Amino acid sequence: PIVTKTEFLPPDRMVTSLQIRASISLLILCFLTFMITPVSGTVWFSLSNILGITFLGTIFHLGLIMIGLVGGFYGLFQRDQRALLASYVALMIVTIRFAGSKVEFGLSFMPEGEFSQKLLLILYAIILVMYIEVSSGIIRFSMLDTSIRKGEVYVMNVNKITNRYGRALTVTPVVAGLVASLTLFINLIVPFFVGIFDPVSANRLRESVELTSVYGVALGTMLVFIVIAAMFAINLPLRIQQYMESRN
């Protein structure tokens, strides 16, 4: 949430652990962002070319990554929601590209195969989600810890809460990876199911340019939203919660 700076008590062991995890995630995320999002294909690259000052686009591009990195570290260790928000926005804006831009990486030694590229993008998606989740957890647990230590609230069995959150953090990358895989590998998923009924049409779909382009990603995104909507339609989160509580 966008709020004024909140004063927290010194971090406890749980918050410190989350800060370390988030810092590692942020470093990996910024490196992956630099690798998979070169300046070419961005709006600022096009504008700098129009102006005839090409290095401005590169400076702006690297500046966004640095804002994400520095703002992220400041927000993590100062527990400043505004700095974290600036980091989120910067690291997302830097990935925005024209739909028809050529697929390329910022480093020349990166793999050129489509499958390898998509695996890197899936890894990027997982790290991005983990960074946002863990950094948000820092703020939430700081609020909880401060309220408990100031005597504003009384919470029984805090360790149980932290243990559940720790288990949830193992589920988050799995879900993020599945969602990213559904989106990026739609050109393999659709032909697989079509091949059950019509192998010839499945082969045509595998060779289709549309499924490997931005249209395929859009179709994959739509499929992801359908899956998520179906999960909430059957109230899957509540059912999982009830199952976990019944086990305990």
Which of 155, 182, 202 delimits the end of a domain? 155
Output DSSP code: residue 248.
-
209 occurs within a structural domain: yes
Q: What is the mean pLDDT of each run of 10 residues along the chain (248 residues)?
A: 70 90 94 84 84 86 93 92 91 78 58 76 89 91 84 76 81 85 79 82 73 65 78 80 75
- What is residue 106's predicted lDDT score, i.e. its pLDDT? 57
Co-location of 143 and 176 in the same domain: no
Co-location of 36 and 131 in the same domain: yes
Query: 49: which 2 tokens?
Result: 């070319």
4 occurs within a structural domain: no
Co-location of 30 and 116 in the same domain: yes
Which of 155, 178, 206 delimits the end of a domain? 155
Count other Cβ atoms within 10 Å, centred on residue 15.
Answer: 22
1 occurs within a structural domain: no
Co-location of 73 and 50 in the same domain: yes
Q: What share of the chain is helix, strand, coil (3-state, %, to 5)?
A: 75, 0, 25
Contact between 35 and 106 under an 8 Å Cβ cutoff? The reply is yes
- What is residue 1's predicted lDDT score, i.e. its pLDDT? 47
Domain that holds residue 37: 12-155
Q: Report the number of distinct structural domains present in the chain.
A: 2
Co-location of 76 and 196 in the same domain: no
Contact between 56 and 46 under an 8 Å Cβ cutoff? The reply is no
Which of 129, 155, 181 delimits the end of a domain? 155
